[in-house]
Amino acid sequence: MLSEMTTRQRILAGITVFFLISALFIAGSWIYIQSTVADRIYPLTYIDGIDMGYKTKEEALSLLTKRDEYYNDAFVEVLYKDTKIATFSGAELQLKRDIDTKVDQAYLIGRSSHVPSRIAHQFNTLLKLRTFSFNTEIRYNNTVIDQFVKQSEDVYNREPKNALFTFESGKVTSFKADEPGMKLKSEEFQMNLKKQIQTISSKNKQIALSFQEEEIKPEITLAEANNFGIEELIGEGHSDYSHSIASRIHNVILAASQFDGVIVPKGETFSFNKLIGDISSSTGYQPAYVIKNGRTVLGDGGGVCQVSTTMFRAAINTGLPITERHAHAYRVSYYENDSEPGFDATIYSPTVDLKFKNDTPGAILIQMELDKANNLLAFKFYGKKDDRKVEISPSTVWDIAPPPEPLYEDDPTLPNGTVKQVDYAAWGAKAKFEYKVFDGQGEVMQNETFYSSYRPWQAVFLRGTAGI
């Protein structure tokens, strides 16, 4: 019995000694760590994965500041519709991590004013039970970005425009297609920028992000502004009348204005001659060069064919059936300012006309656009789109022939020795292009080849013979 008690006593004594030694070890280790740490950061404390144990706050700040020196060389590029609109340097944005805050937080490990937390932190450190990690965040001067966003909104944001449609006396007298507005997604941009900036590193010092936008619909659309089924732009044609004399330009503008606001009802056939009416000095036209009886001569209305040519181009670009079209007798330079040979259409009332049929789902409104500064004329067709697809081939030109030798004619009304050119040489040629229109199922709606046969044109000079 005595020996059993002695054994138990020995066990208890051993346990007591173990705990005493452990306590002394822990206390000694705690005292050692405390004396070693002093005013330094406790071990097992990390900032951005970097061990800050036993470093002073100043040492930690210096280490992190040196790490971030590359920020001044970083760049942020901003794109809008794939075009670069701004570049900001790291220095301009004042890129900087919030290292001051994180170093302060790391330093407070084991120094909390809350006693249980302080003791828990110290013993976790001592027994290596837990690490303490802090991650910094890149900060930047948001004032710079706010100013940029505001300037961008002033440049790119636009208000929607309502449609305007007034129909009087058989024509549209007031017209304006609706235009959607655009608004930059500024808040989304700011959020994306903040996220993207966090990805900057010493190996990735340049980031790029796009400024996105959203469409703002108008309150009144074109479809809501009329009862003709006219909803949108469905086609347009252009021509360049550069190098025209003043009287020809006058006639182009006058003739084109006759078609501005014209509505071609669904299923109806458009006739250029019917709508243009009388072309003479009595209706305001001035003398300009026209082709008459095989010669280029001054006549009322020279330049009207610039208008019919532009109308023809608008009709084929819209995919309409062309029921009548005639090419000019020779290659007129005006029609090749911005086009290949063969895309012209002459008229000569009442026998030579330009006609097309409106086979679209609604009426067609013709609108004229004139750029006087650049000598450009356009017709825009507004209506209702269907699924048709237009294919127009490039022009094929062959049988090119030089002009005949110049013709000199005596003119007793001109002083002797005077030579005056009254017609101009042009090379002859044949030209063609293919015109195909397909419906939404791929079925052919139009399949036509437009041919033009241009004669070689002779230069004509008048030679004065007066007094001989």
Contact 439, 386 (CB under 8 A): yes
Reported as half-sphere exposure (CB side, CA atoms, 13 A), residue 337 has a value of: 16
Report helix angle 99-107 to 57-67, nearest 10: 150
Residue 3: pLDDT band with limits 50, 70, 90: low
Under the banding of pLDDT at 50, 70 and 90, the label for residue 2 is very low
- Choose among 309, 283, 286, 316: nearest CA to 298: 286
Return the percentage of the chain with pLDDT > 70, whole number: 91
Task: List, for residues 433-451, the tens digit of each pLDDT value.
Answer: 999 999 999 999 999 999 9
**Model confidence at 291, in pLDDT bands (50, 70, 90)?**
low
User: How far is residue 111 from each of residues 49, 107, 274, measured CA to CA in Å?
Assistant: 21, 8, 97
pTM strictly above 0.75: no
Task: Determine the pLDDT at residue 297.
Answer: 60
What's the pLDDT score for residue 410? 85
Q: Residues 98-120: pLDDT tens digits?
A: 999 999 999 998 888 888 777 78
Ordered by start, the domain boundaries in the chain are: 227-466
Across the chain, what does the average pLDDT equal? 89
**pLDDT score of 343 more than 70:** yes
The residue type found at 130 is R
Q: What is the pLDDT of residue 188?
A: 96
**Mean pLDDT in residue range 353-359:** 97
413-424 pLDDT, tens digit each: 888 889 988 778
pLDDT for 293-309, tens place per residue? Answer: 555 566 566 889 999 99
Backbone φ and ψ of 22, nearest 5°: -60, -45
Residue 179 has pLDDT above 60, yes or no: yes
